[in-house]
Amino acid sequence: MSSTTDVLLVNPPSAFGTYKGTKMDVYTQVYPVLSLASLAAILREKGFRVSILDLGIEGSPFQLFSKVLDESKPRIVGVTATTPLISEAAQIASIVREKLGKETLTVLGGPHASALPEECLRLSVFDVVAVGEGDYTIVELAEGRPLSDIKGIYYKNEDKLLSTPVRERIKDLDILPFPALDLFDIKRYKSSKLVARKSPFSDLMTSRGCVFNCSFCGKKVFGRRFIPKSPERVIEEIKYTLRLGFREIRNVDDCFTANINRAKTICEMILREKLNFPWTLAGGIRVDCVDEEFLVLAKRAGLYQVSFGFESGDQECLNSIGKGITLEQSLRAMEMVKKVGLESVGFFMFGLPAETEESMRRTIDFAMKLMPDFAKVTILVPIPDSKIFADWEGEGRIISRDWSQYKLHGAGVVYQHPTLSHDKMREYYDLFYRKFYLNPKYLMRRAKIGIYRRTLFLDMYYGLKTFLPQLVR
């Protein structure tokens, strides 16, 4: 950590606690935060001294944070936060204000800030909230420009909350510098073998924006327009990431295969450049945006695992969230994945607007029919910038704005579902994991895979930790 810092970028302490205390605890993921690395890179390119402090990997995070503030005395402290982390972000801003006063500018960014900028300002001591892409916003803040001249922010002026015009999307992502992943101590980022076969791994984002209209998703950071990096830029970024010592890459695009020809070109270039590394499509690609040719090519290029957002085994439920896929497309996608020989992860949700007990039973049966290598179900959480949140808030169904309860897994009772109680959804959540993972067919398949890969005892350990956690530390 530099003794003199222009900008200190901070990741909140609970950033990696998504799965803590849930059936997916063994799937905990710890990784350098790509958004902070991207902001740090462009700041550094413009000549500013920038540091990243990841409190998510620290044992005494706030004690360390206070020490870092004393040593570096940054001019700007920037914090990123998803919805359940917003209270921790506010606590970080309060510590900055207490120790450094108003001389240090505090800035909040991330999905929750973009969704509820005025509320974030009103309920914290943050000076500025950045909405949407923050790459050039943070640079202009570091340059000391008048706040009124900086697009895409909300800020305080005495007792008033003011805002500036919307910042335009970055149209050419190739001009951005490579993420400053070197600012992380990568040896400290280790995850279970369920998350990555090799550690440390790094996230890779080859595009921004999503053109689809799923009502449970938010779009206020990167918007609805699909803006890709060129295949050439992607390859150079992969080379850079591998040179830093990362041993695996996790693609987290919203829409990597939306342009399937571009995705194939990237795979062809990986092969042509003879880049040998394992990678996954962890963000969950759409079942209607994949073909066998791509899967074969991607596997040859090092892809070993693909995730799909199946969401439900009930067509009416899928229609109720505007997913735009059919059950038949999901079945075909899994058939292709199994034929090609890739590992698979299936994402499912309970609590969709049209959900009933019968539809949850169908989803469990559908998951067992699809039989991915790993299946994850969650109870729907209506994040603040989603259509579902707006609809249910208008209907008076949102009963809590305690954002700490809005965890993707393990959420509290924050809404009244149109037809189901939270207890009933929780009952089927537990049933999903029991029926899927304790299914004899699944257990036999995993045993064969475990013997072949020599991971049988590790798989048994993960199973015990999931279903009999009291026996496993």
Residues contacting 330, CB < 8 A, separation 6+: 287, 308, 310, 366, 370
227 contacts 260 by C-beta, under 8 angstroms? no
Q: How far is CA 10 from the centre of its chain?
A: 17
For residue 259, give both structure tokens. 């342009």
Residue 447 has a pLDDT of 84
Q: pLDDT tens digits for 275-284?
A: 999 999 998 8
Q: Given a cut of 70, is residue 459 above it in pLDDT? A: no
For residue 244, give both structure tokens. 């830093």
- C-alpha triplet 175, 180, 186: angle, nearest 5°: 150
Q: Are residues 121 and 220 in the same domain?
A: no
For all residues of the chain together, what is the average pLDDT? 92
Residue 422 has a pLDDT of 96
Residue 451 has a pLDDT of 82
What whole-number distance in Å separates Cα of residue 471 and Cα of residue 473? 7
Q: Are residues 246 and 128 in the same domain?
A: no
Strand partners, 156: 161
Nearest to 317 by CA among 269, 258, 366, 252: 366
Instruction: Indicate whether 201 belongs to any domain.
Output: yes
Name the percent of the chain lying above pLDDT 90: 82
Instruction: Indicate whether 70 belongs to any domain.
Output: yes
For residue 353, give both structure tokens. 């607007």
Confidence of residue 83 (pLDDT cuts 50, 70, 90): very high
- C-alpha triplet 251, 254, 258: angle, nearest 5°: 100
H helix intervals, 225-348: 231-243, 260-272, 292-300, 315-320, 327-340
Q: Are residues 11 and 125 in the same domain?
A: yes
- Estimate the share of the chain in helix, then strand, then coil, as percent rounded to the nearest 5: 45, 15, 40
Q: Are residues 346 and 411 in the same domain?
A: yes
Q: Are residues 25 and 159 in the same domain?
A: yes
Q: Are residues 278 and 348 in the same domain?
A: yes
| CA atoms within 13 A of residue 472's CA, in its CB half-sphere | 13
Q: pLDDT tens digits for 111-156?
A: 999 999 999 999 999 999 999 999 999 999 999 999 999 999 999 9
Enter the DSSP assignment of 151: T
Q: Given a cut of 70, is residue 445 above it in pLDDT? A: yes
Residues contacting 228, CB < 8 A, separation 6+: 173, 206, 207, 259, 262
Q: Given a cut of 90, is residue 80 above it in pLDDT? A: yes
Instruction: Indicate whether 184 belongs to any domain.
Output: no
Average pLDDT of the segment spanning 162-171: 96
Confidence of residue 461 (pLDDT cuts 50, 70, 90): low
Q: pLDDT tens digits for 30-56?
A: 899 999 999 999 999 999 999 999 999
Average pLDDT of the segment spanning 154-170: 94
Confidence of residue 473 (pLDDT cuts 50, 70, 90): low
196 contacts 248 by C-beta, under 8 angstroms? yes
Instruction: Indicate whether 260 belongs to any domain.
Output: yes
Instruction: Indicate whether 327 belongs to any domain.
Output: yes
Identify the weakest region by mean pLDDT among 318-322, 328-332, 338-342, 444-448: 444-448
Residue 2 has a pLDDT of 46
Residue range of the domain that includes 109: 7-163
Q: Are residues 392 and 257 in the same domain?
A: yes
Q: Given a cut of 90, is residue 472 above it in pLDDT? A: no
Return the CA Rg of the chain. 22
Q: Are residues 50 and 145 in the same domain?
A: yes
What whole-number distance in Å separates Cα of residue 226 and Cα of residue 102? 39
Q: Given a cut of 50, is residue 180 above it in pLDDT? A: yes
Confidence of residue 457 (pLDDT cuts 50, 70, 90): low
Residue 29 has a pLDDT of 79
Q: Given a cut of 90, is residue 462 above it in pLDDT? A: no
Q: Are residues 142 and 212 in the same domain?
A: no
Instruction: Indicate whether 432 belongs to any domain.
Output: yes
CATH number reported for the structural domain that contains residue 43 in this entry: 3.40.50.280
- Is pLDDT larger for residue 368 or for residue 218? 368
Q: Are residues 158 and 269 in the same domain?
A: no
Return the amino acid letter for 410.
G
Q: Are residues 127 and 217 in the same domain?
A: no
Average pLDDT of the segment spanning 207-233: 92
Average pLDDT of the segment spanning 325-331: 98
Kindly give the pairing relationship between strand 50-54 and strand 7-11: parallel
Residue 24 has a pLDDT of 57
CATH number reported for the structural domain that contains residue 214 in this entry: 3.20.20.70
Identify the weakest region by mean pLDDT among 89-93, 342-346, 419-423, 456-460: 456-460
Q: Are residues 118 and 223 in the same domain?
A: no
Confidence of residue 220 (pLDDT cuts 50, 70, 90): confident
The pTM of this model reads 0.92
Instruction: Indicate whether 125 belongs to any domain.
Output: yes
Instruction: Indicate whether 266 belongs to any domain.
Output: yes
Q: Given a cut of 90, is residue 370 above it in pLDDT? A: yes
- Is pLDDT larger for residue 99 or for residue 19? 99
271 contacts 247 by C-beta, under 8 angstroms? no
What whole-number distance in Å separates Cα of residue 272 and Cα of residue 77? 42
Residue 247 has a pLDDT of 96
Nearest to 216 by CA among 349, 310, 359: 349
Confidence of residue 420 (pLDDT cuts 50, 70, 90): very high
127 contacts 114 by C-beta, under 8 angstroms? no
Structural domains counted in the chain: 2
From start to end of 312-438, where are the E strands? 343-350, 374-379
